Structure 1
Amino acid sequence: MGRTVAVIGGGYGGAAVAKALDQDTDVVLIESKDAFVHSAGSLRALVRPDWAGNMFFPYDRLLQRGKVVRERAASVDPGGVTLASGERVDADYLVLASGSDYPFPAKMDTDLSSEALESLRAAHAELASADRVLITGAGPVGLELSGEIKAVWPDKSVTIVDPAGRLVPGFLPEMREDLHRQLDALKVELRLGTTLTEEPPTEPGRAKTFTIGTTGGEVTADIWFRCHGVSVNGHYLGDGLVTTRTPQGRVRVTETLKVDGHDHIYALGDITDLAEAKMAGHAMRHAEVVAENIIAQVRGERPTAVYRPSPVPSILLPLGPSGGVGQVPSPDGPAVLPAQAVSEYKGADLFIGRFTELFGRTPTGARTEAPTEAPNGASTDDGPDHRTDSRTP
C-alpha cells in the first residue's frame, strides 16, 4: 500500500494523530474550522473574554510535511474521502476523528474563530447583566460552568436542574461528597431529580427574566444555559459505504482501533463505541495507538498497538481555577484528588501549554496563561455530558 493518510476532523484526537503521523506518512487533515478550538477552555472564555483568545490555535504550524484541507467531508468510502465541494481526497489509510457537537458555549457553533470570539463576548455581556443563572444539566459541563461563574461573580445566584438523582454516578462516594461540599460553599443550588415542565421562553445565553415550572417548584432566572445534549459528528458515514453506525451514531472498533471490517480504516475519539467517557484525554491516547499502528503498516509490519479503556473512570472537574474534584487510577485503585491538585493539573491554565507545544505557537490571544486574579478578587481555571472533545485528564 501507499502512505497517504486522510484524517477527518482536527479536534483533540485528529490533530494529535495527524501530528504523530506527519514524519512517516503523507497526511491530509480535513477540517472545516480555521483554527483548532481548545474546548476545555470555553467556559473560562465565557466568563473571562479577555482570556478567550487562548483557546484558538491556527493549524498552519501543526504539520511540517502534511497539509490541512479546510473543507467538510461529505462521504467516505474505502478508497478515500469526497468533500462537500465535490473534490476527492484519495487515501491509503483513513482515520475517522470527527468528534461531536455540544450546545454553546461548551462548544463553538461556527467554523470561524473570529465569529466564535464575537459570540463568546456577546454571551459574556448578557451573563454579566444577569443576577440569576439557570443551568440545565448537572453533568461535568454544567458543574464546571457553575464554578466558572462563581469564580468571577460570587454573588450571582446559580441554580442547576437535572432529572438525575445524584451527581457524577460511577465515581467514588468521597469524590461526590467533596463535590457537594464545594458546591455548597459556592452557594450553587442543586435541584436533582428535577425536570423543567417546559422549555425556557428565551434562547440560551440571552438575558431576559423569566419564571418557569419544574417538577420541584418554580425557578426564576435572568439567563439560562443548556449543558446537555451531545451529538456525534458522523453524517459523512450516512451512506453506509464504510460502516453502519450504532443507534447512538458511533462506530464499532477493534482493540487496535480499526473500524470493524476494515484493515486500513481507523476511528478515534467521540465517534468510537468504546465503553468510556468521551473526553479529550482519551481521544489523544487513541491517537497514539492509531499512529503507531498506521506507521507499522506503512513499514510493512503488523499493527500490534492496542487500546483498552481503563476499568477505573477518571475525571478532572474544575470548579473555577482554584476548586474542583478529581479521580484518577492508581496502583491501589481509584484515587480521589483534592481541589489543590485539580487546580495544579488543570484548573489554573486548562492545559493551554500542552496545545501551545502541539501547534507550534502561542494562541491567538494576548497571553498564554490564565490571569491569576479575576475582577472582585476571585482567583481565576465528555460522560455523555462531557465534551471531549471536552475535558481532559
Structure 2
Amino acid sequence: MTGSPSADPAPVKNVVFIGGSFVAISAVMKMRTAPLPPGYRIVVVEPHNHAHYMFGFPRAAVISGFERELFVPYDNLFATPETGVVVHAKAISITRTEVKLDRAVEGFGDSITFDYMVYCTGARHPSPGNLNDSHTKAEGIAVLKSYQMRIANAKKIVIAGAGAVGLELAAEIKEHYPEKTVTIVHSRDRYMMGYKMGIHSKSYGILKELGVHQILGDRLIIPDSGVEDGVLCTLRTKLGKEIECDLLIPCTGMTPNSDVLATLSPAVINPANNLVRIKQTLQIDDDAYPNIFAGGDVVDSADIKTGLSAFWHADTIVQVNKPFMKPSMWLVFDLTRIGLSRTSSR
C-alpha cells in the first residue's frame, strides 16, 4: 500500500476507485483543485505497483533505453494519507458498500467499505500493447526487453491485427530494422475504422513507404501449435495467401475487465461485448446502485476508447460524484460529446 491511513476518531468515508487507470489518476489530479469535503478519502485499488504508460510500450518493445520511464510510481498521487491512499491489491468482488480484496492490506484488512465507487478497470489487450500481468516494474521491463530480443533475432515478422498497437509496432520495427520483412494482416478493409478515412490513408502511406507488407480484408489462420520463435514456417490466410514467418505478434482483441462488477450486478454487463452499461452521468445502469460509477475502456459508451476519452470520463465523474451533492443535482452529460465520438471522428 502506498501511504497508510491515519487514525481518526470519526469514521472516514471512502470514495473507492477500482483500477489505477488514467480515469482514476486524472480524477485524483482534478480533485487536488476541487477536493472532497472533510471526512472523505479517496482509495485507489490497483494490483500493479506502478502506473503503466502503455502508449510507449510498442516503441519500447523494439528499441531499448527508456523502458524504466514507462512505469510511474503511485507514491506522489496523494499529498497525505488523509486525502487518499493507493492499495496494491486486486478487487475480487463487490457488494453495495464493500470491495473484497485478494489479500489483507495494512489499515483495511481484506475489504474496503465505500460510500461511492468508480469502476475503471480498463481492458486486457495482448502484449506488448498492454502488460496486464506484470505487477511490478521489474516484471514489465523484463517483458519489454524480451520483445526487444525476440524482434532483434527475427527475420520475418508477422503482426496479426492493425489497431493502434499493431500499426505502431509494424512501423517501429521496420523503421528500426529496415532489413527485416514485416507483414501486417488486418481483417477490415481499412485501418482505424472509427476515425476519418484520412487516418487510414496516412497510416497506409507511412507503412508503404517504410516497406511493410500490408494485407487487408483477410485473417490469419494460426495453427493450434502456434508459431515457435526463430523457426521459419508458412502461415496462411483465409483467402489463401501464404506468408513466411519466424515471429508472430498477435495484436488483436480487447477483453473488458468487467467480471468483478458482474459479481454485484450481472445485468449491468452487456452480453454482446462484456462492457459495462452506463447512464449519461456515468453511473452504472442499475438504479439499485446510484453511488457506483464507471469510466474508461470498460464502459459501453459511444466515444472511441482513447486516453482522451478517459480524461473526459474522469472530469464527468469528478463533477457528479461529489458526496455533498444530492442526486437531484447530478448533471447529465451527452457521451457523444465527450472525447472522440464514433461520429465526430469520421
Work out the number of aligned pairs and report it: 317
Q: Are 2:175 and 1:135 aligned?
A: no
2:167–2:203 contact (8 Å) kept in structure 1: no
1:187-213: CA deviations, max 9, x gaps? 111111222233374468x44322122
Is residue 2:271 matched to residue 1:253?
A: no
**TM-score for both structures, normalised by structure 2:** 0.84
Indicate the SS of the match to 1:61.
coil
Deviation per residue, 1:203-233 (Å, 9 max, x gap): 68x4432212222321111211000111111
Mapped partners of 2:246, 2:262: distance in 1: 40
The offset of 1:17, in angstroms, is 1.8
Following TM superposition, by how much is the alpha carbon of 1:175 offset from its aligned partner in structure 2, in angstroms?
Answer: 3.4
Q: Relative contact order (C-alpha < 8 Å, sep 6+): which is higher? A: 1
Q: Distance in 1 between matches of 2:140 and 2:93?
A: 27
Kindly indicate whether residue 255 of structure 2 is the aligned counterpart of residue 231 of structure 1: yes
Q: 280-289 or 83-92, which moves further after superposition?
A: 83-92
Output the CA distance in 2 between the equivalents of 1:263 and 1:17. 19
2:26 aligns with 16
Matches within 5 A, 1:1-393: 3-21=13-31, 23-24=35-36, 25-64=40-79, 65-85=83-103, 87-108=110-131, 109-199=133-223, 201-202=225-226, 206-214=229-237, 215-241=239-265, 244-247=268-271, 248-260=273-285, 261=287, 262-295=289-322, 297-298=323-324, 302-304=329-331, 306-310=333-337, 313=340
Cα drift, residue 300 of structure 1: 5.1
Q: Which structure's CA Rg is the greater one?
A: 2
Q: Which amino acid aligns with 1:83?
A: L
Identity level (%)? 27
Does the Cα contact within 8 Å between 2:23 and 2:313 map onto a contact in 1?
yes
Corresponding position of 1:325: none
Match of 1:368 in 2: none
Residue 75 of structure 2: SS of its match in structure 1?
helix
Does the 8 Å CA contact 1:5/1:28 hold for their aligned counterparts? yes
User: In 2, distance between residues paired with 1:200 and 1:47?
Assistant: 27
Matched to 1:180, the amino acid is Y
Let me know the Cα RMSD of the aligned residues: 2.5
CA contact (8 A) 2:134 2:140 kept: yes
TM (norm. structure 1) is 0.74
CA distance in 2, matches of 1:263, 1:237: 14
Structure 2: where are the runs of 5+ without partners? 1-10, 105-109
2:254 and 2:141 map into 1 onto residues whose CA distance is 22
| Closer/same/farther in 2, CA of residues 118 and 284 from structure 1, 3 Å limit | same
* Gapped regions of structure 1 (runs ≥ 5): 316-327, 336-393
SS at match of 1:298: coil
Counterpart residue identity of residue 267, structure 1: A
The letter of the residue matching 1:148 is E
- After superposition, the Cα gap between the structure-2 partners of 1:228 and 1:132, relative to the gap in structure 1 and judged at 3 Å, is same
